[in-house]
Amino acid sequence: MARVRLFSAGEPARLAGLASLTAPDPSERVSALVDVAVVGARSDGKTQFILHAIRTLGADAPDDLSEPERNATLDIMQVVLAAARPRPDANNPDAGVPHYVFRLQPRKLLEEMGLLAQLVLLARSSRLARALAVVLVAAAAGVMGASLGGAIDGVVGLGLLWLCATAAGLAFLAARRRFVGRGPIEVVFWDVAGENLYGSRQKSAEYWSLLRHLVRRRVADARPERRYGFAPVLICNPLGLGIDDKQSPFGRLRPLLPIFAGLGGFEPEALVVINRWEAVRGLCPEGADRDELVAIAAEAMSGANAPALVAVAPTEPMPVVRRGTIRTCCVDAEEAREEGVHTTVLRYDAGLCELVSAPWQPFSELDARLRAFWAPPAVEPHQILHYRFAEGPRAFAGDARRVFLRWLGRLAFRSGAAAPAPVALPARAEQPDASAVATSEPAAAQTLPMFAADEKAGGFHTGGT
Amino acid sequence: MRILLRRAWQQKHPSPSHPGWDFHWHPVELAGAAQAIAAAGARADAGVAVWSIGPRHALWLRGFAAVAPAEQRRYVGWSGCAAEPAEADDEAAWAQALPAVLARFTLPPARPFALADGPGAPNDAVVTVEPTGALLDPELAPDDGEAVARALCAGGDAVLADPHDAALPAWWGRMLSWLPPDERVRPRAGLLAAHAAAAAPAPAAEPQRNLYHYLHRCWQHRARRPWRLVLELRAFKPVSLADLFEELTGLAAAWEHAADLEAYLIRSGALAQQEIQAAHAHAPAPLRGPDVGDAGRLWNRILHYWGRGFLGARARGEVAERLAGVLARRITVDHLLALDTPERADAERYLRRLRFEALLTVRDARTLRTALARVLPSLEVHRERA
């Protein structure tokens, strides 16, 4: 089974990244396709989130990816498995939007969920709700019949209860088995360079256009036995929230989240990810003044002794945050439905970190390395928080893991209804033409029949007569 | 022609153009840069170079790796040169000047911008370049020359020992001088790396393979004469080089058996069915009888019958033009084939056949030679063996 190239005619949008995208063969058992577009400003931790997500999924990539996708997967796996220093390179905004294809096995998804979450998921995906409704109606009919005949008593009641419980249990097991048999969920992470969304480049309309082409193409292929889900993930980096959350990159991107989420069609979903959770805890200790300003000196532990290669003195001021802003955006944020978008909140810490708070001292007295990175802060802070971090090869753990997997399951099977109505697009043949099939083997070279098959090198081969 | 030469850097390190640690261009983004970097895609790395050429730009960038101290993240940045016409010159003048333009590129060091590189404006310069001739000396032919020829013609990846060699733009310009001017400036981009990609690019169709193969062969042997014939053929009947090689490949494949050649001549419009029927009606023997064992004999007979008027007397001049077109392609193919086996090739055998085997009168032979010279002017002028 070969994967199908979705945009065989080349890049449909101005921002490159879709031409190499492939989807599983229509005959392959894949229960759902999910596109996750990770959105955030430069250095907010978008790729770091993707690394955690990939590890959480068990780094299970399809075997038959096209060559560009396989290369991208191998590149990201170099970082996923780099135990000592899993620090990804910065994405170049001109190099297009890379994507990474991985899979979530249904058994793994169910095992990581609580019973209630499993029931909800199976009700959405495997007709469990219908089966349970039948059991309840049968039970009600039984009770009514017994009461009309005057035969209801404790023994009969217990018997009915046992029957209902057994039927419900069997329905649950059957739905679970059906769900596992439908195949994995294919999750595609889209990792845009921060500068394309917020920063010096501002190509967010081109990114939006790319995602729009992507979703339209996917929706055209969706069907009840292979659902499709799309959602944006907005990264909230607490260290970049500043004094006024409305003026921070996160604060400015947050109102745009419904527009990106709306690309996914009905029941829009979004995920807000708050990373560097330990820093949030350090910035919001109990009893602290909400209006207090704190300068943040963040640096990677491994880079502490690295020489600073700075050609021009930086004029970007050292970041300063207000404790109240951190509390509002990070601590108080919770799952909600806003502007028609169901937003889930995930909190995690990307690595191992050390936090040291100290009273603010004049900028000129700070360590020379910090002064090489930053200009003096725009306002005088009360404190400075030294946040030293080391990346680790971590996956989401505890609550973050449960929230992430539950969110993925919800995204893949948002409704028990059939797939969303397809958008009018150029029809795709049931059997894709040969040029649209991305095979891992190169096509056979064209050889004139008069020549031996191994004569594939250039040259006319014959001098004629 | 006056051109604007620019040097620029794409980096995360702060520069006079941008104070922060964002990716940005200093002093300005170069024309074609986004296209070239996007074409490099996942292979973009510190050791590679990318290029882009279009009707109004030429660009050369070298990758570098640096670490942004503010994030302690590695990134791949770019530094390089671009040129564009300083005035509203026409595309033809730009195409003629392109090799000279690339020769003027002075690549900045492959690292983030530093104050020693100049404050910005001095990185721009308006210079005058003169159009260069075609077929400049390639100087060196790379090992994997067919891939280089492919990249030059169609864009894409190629392997070179040192992609950061500062002399590469000038060399690339000399190679470009082997393409027809309008194909030099067809928009395309590519990447030069020291190692091949994990996967080989999709194999080209046979005509394209032949195009890359013989372009490389001409570079290897410094063989200007065969390639000049190719360029003249293409100029006579304006088609792309790829289409021209499709014709040549079709002709080479058909020139074995008489039946194949007859089918080819009809298919290509060199002979009409009425002309073949006329030959059957008036000639002493059929055009393709049992005594015509191969394509070479059939060709001799066609020329002979044309000379005697058996193909239809009223349009002899027009038929001569068509036959001269086929003959020009045959002779060009023979010149190219001679590059594969120079020790036993005879690139001019069909000129001799025209003279000695077709049994044409002197006047008819001269008519065909004149028509041939209109298609391949250099055939008579440059008699030297390449």
Rounded to whole angstroms, the Cα distance separating A399 from A344 reads 12
> Is B256's CB within 8 Å of A450's CB?
yes
Q: Which of B53, B154, B24, B110 is nearest to A94 (CA)?
A: B24
Give the position of tokens 């191994």. A454
Which residue carries 């060196």 as its tokens? B140
CA–CA gap between residue A349 and residue B119 (Å, rounded): 41
- pLDDT at A178 exceeding the cut of 80: yes
Best residue in B23, B249, B353 for a mutation probing chain A (most A CBs within 10 Å): B23
CA-CA distances (angstroms) from residue B76 to A83, B56, B192?
Answer: 22, 27, 15
| pLDDT > 90 in chain A, percent | 42
| A104 CB-near residues (< 8 Å, 6+ apart) | A57, A60, A184, A185, A187, A405, A408
Q: Minimal CA–CA distance to A109: which of A337, A413, A415?
A: A413
Main-chain dihedrals φ then ψ at residue A461, nearest 5 degrees: 70, -25
Four-point Cα dihedral A39, A45, A46, A52, nearest 10: -140
**Burial grade of A146 (CB within 10 A; 0-12, 13-18, 19 or more):** middle
CB contact under 8 A, A314 and B74: no
Taking contacts as CB-CB distances below 8 angstroms, the residues of chain B near A461 are: 252
Q: Which two tokens stand for residue A441?
A: 């083997």
pLDDT band at residue B372 under the 50/70/90 scheme: very high
What's the whole-number mean pLDDT along residues B30-59?
Answer: 89
What average pLDDT does range A98-113 have in this prediction? 91
CB-CB under 8 Å, B330 with A311: no
Q: Quote the pLDDT of residue A89.
A: 85
Of residues B302 and A414, more confidence is placed in: B302
Contact (CB<8Å) A374/B70: yes
Which chain A residues contact residue B67 at CB under 8 A? 303, 306, 309
Chain A residue whose CA is closest to B50: A95
Report pLDDT for A228.
Answer: 94
Structure tokens at A234: 């907005």
**A448 to B253: CB separation less than 8 angstroms, yes or no:** yes
Decide: A106 and A31 in contact? Cβ < 8 Å.
yes
CA distance A185 to chain B (A): 25
> Does the distance separating the beta carbons of A98 and B42 come in below 8 Å?
yes
Contact residues on chain B for A201, CB-CB shorter than 8 A: 22-24
pLDDT reading at A447 higher than 80: no
**Cα nearest neighbour of A95 on chain B:** B38
How far apart (Å, rounded) are the C-alpha atoms in residues A391 and A423?
42
Which residues have a Cβ under 8 Å from the Cβ of A36 and sit 6 or more positions away? A53, A187, A188, A189, A190, A230, A231, A232, A233, A411
The answer to whether residue B212 scores a pLDDT higher than 90 is yes
What pLDDT score does A445 carry? 30
Provide the mean pLDDT of chain B: 89
> What is the mean predicted confidence (pLDDT) over A144-162?
72
- Greater model confidence, A459 or B250: B250
Helix (H, G, I), strand (E, B) or coil at B19: coil
Q: How close B17 comes to chain A (CA, Å)?
A: 10
- Phi, psi for B84 (deg, rounded to 5): -150, 155
Between chain A and chain B, the number of residue pairs with CB atoms below 8 A apart is 189
Enumerate the residues of chain A whose CB falls inside 8 A of the CB of residue B114: 311
Cβ atoms within 10 A of the Cβ of A157, count?
A: 13
Between B386 and A122, residue with greater pLDDT: A122
Nearest to B14 among A98, A314, A369 (CB): A314
Q: What is the pLDDT of residue B19?
A: 81
Which token pair is A388?
């030293």
Residues in B touching A375 (Cβ below 8 Å): 19
CA dihedral B178, B181, B184, B186 (to 10 degrees): -150
- Which residue reads 């089918």 in tokens? B263
A115 has pLDDT over 90 = no
Check residues A208 and A316 and name the one with the higher pLDDT.
A208
**Rounded Cα gap, residues B47 and B163, in angstroms:** 7
DSSP 8-state code for residue B15: B
Measured in angstroms, the CA of B96 and the nearest CA of chain A are apart by: 29
Instruction: State the pTM of this model.
Output: 0.80
Contact A299 B34 (CB under 8 A): no
Q: How far is B214 from chain A (nearest CA, A)?
A: 7
B355 or A22, greater pLDDT: A22
- The CATH number assigned to the domain with range A3-113+182-276+325-349+393-412 reads 3.40.50.300
Q: What average pLDDT does this structure show over A2-31?
A: 91
Give pLDDT, residue A435. 46
User: Closest partner residue to B113 among A43, A300, A311, by Cβ?
Assistant: A311
Contact A447 B70 (CB under 8 A): no
Question: 3-state SS of chain A?
Answer: CCEEECCCCCCCCCCCCCCCCEECCCCCCCCEEEEEEEECCCCCCHHHHHHHHHHHCCCCCCCCCCHHHHHHHHHHHHHHCCCCCCCCCCCCHHHCCCEEEEEECHHHHHHCCCHHHHHHHHHHHCCHHHHHHHHHHHHHHHHHHHHHCCCCCHHHHHHHHHHHHHHHHHHHHHHHHHHHHCCCEEEEEEECCHHHCCCCCCCHHHHHHHHHHHHHHHHHHCECCEEEEEEEEEEECHHHCCCCHHHCHHHHHHHHHHHHHHCCCCCCEEEEEECCHHHHHHHCCCCCCCCCEEEEEEEEHHHCCCCCCCCCCCCCECCEEEHHHHHHHHHCCCCEEECCEEEEEEECCCEEEEEEEEECCCHHHCCHHHHHHCECCCCCCCEEEEEEEEECCCCCCHHHHHHHHHHHHHHHCCCCCCCCCCCCCCCCCCCCCHHHEECCCCCCCCCCCCCCCCCCCCCCCCCCC
- Tell me which of B40 and A271 has the higher pLDDT: A271
Residue B70 has a pLDDT of 67
Nearest CA in chain A to B297: A465
Average pLDDT of chain A is 82
Largest CA distance in chain B: 91
Contact (CB<8Å) A16/B38: yes
| Residue of A21, A64, A92 to mutate when probing chain B, most B C-beta within 10 A | A92
Write out residues 231-250 of B within 8 Å (CB-CB) of A.
248-249
Mean pLDDT of A325-333: 92
Say if residue A32's pLDDT is above 60.
yes
The share of chain A scoring above pLDDT 70, in percent, equals 84
- Which carries the bigger pLDDT value, residue B114 or residue A461? B114
| Out of A7-16, A214-223, A440-449, B233-242, least confident range | A440-449
Candidate from B73, B112, B216 with C-beta closest to A87: B73
State CA B127 to chain mean position distance: 27
Tell which wins on pLDDT, A18 or A67: A18
Å from B38 to nearest chain A CA? 4
- Measured in angstroms, the CA of B10 and the nearest CA of chain A are apart by 9
Q: Nearest chain A Cα to B204, which residue?
A: A445
Name, in order, each residue with C-beta under 8 angstroms of B263's C-beta and a sequence gap of 6 or more. Answer: B254
B16 close to A (CB below 8 A):
yes
* pLDDT, tens digit, 9 for 90 and up, residues A123-138: 877 666 676 777 777 7
For B2, B56, B91, B93, B184, the CA distances from B88, given in Å and listed in that order, are 10, 9, 9, 10, 19
Give per-residue pLDDT as tens, B82-123: 999 988 767 889 999 999 999 999 999 999 998 777 765 566
- Residue A103 confidence (pLDDT): 95
| CB nearest A445 (choices: B21, B23, B203) | B203
DSSP conformation letters of B256-279: SSHHHHHHHHHHTTSS-HHHHHHH
Top-confidence residue, B100 or A436: B100
User: Mean per-residue pLDDT for B237-264?
Assistant: 94
Q: Cβ contact (<8 Å) for B333 and A460? A: yes
Residue B155 to residue A333: CA distance in whole angstroms: 50
Express each pLDDT in B153-174 by its tens digit. 999 989 999 999 999 999 999 9
Helix axis angle for B295-308 and B316-340, nearest 10°, is 150
Phi, then psi, of B89 in degrees rounded to 5: -75, 160
Q: So what's the pLDDT on residue A300?
A: 75
In sequence order, which ranges of B179-272 are alpha helices (DSSP H)?
181-184, 206-221, 224-236, 241-254, 258-267
Q: What is the pLDDT, as a whole number, of residue A218?
A: 95
| Nearest CB neighbour to A312, from listed B14, B68, B203 | B14
B203 pLDDT more than 80: no
pLDDT value of position A367: 86
pLDDT 10s digits, A377-433: 989 999 999 988 887 788 999 999 999 999 999 999 875 444 444 444 444 433 444
**Poorest-pLDDT segment among A331-335, B119-123, B374-378:** B119-123
Distance CA A402, CA A349 (A): 15
Q: What is the pLDDT of residue A298?
A: 84
Q: Mean pLDDT, to the nearest integer, of B236-242?
A: 91
**Residue range A67-103, pLDDT digits in tens:** 889 888 888 998 999 887 777 888 888 888 999 999 9
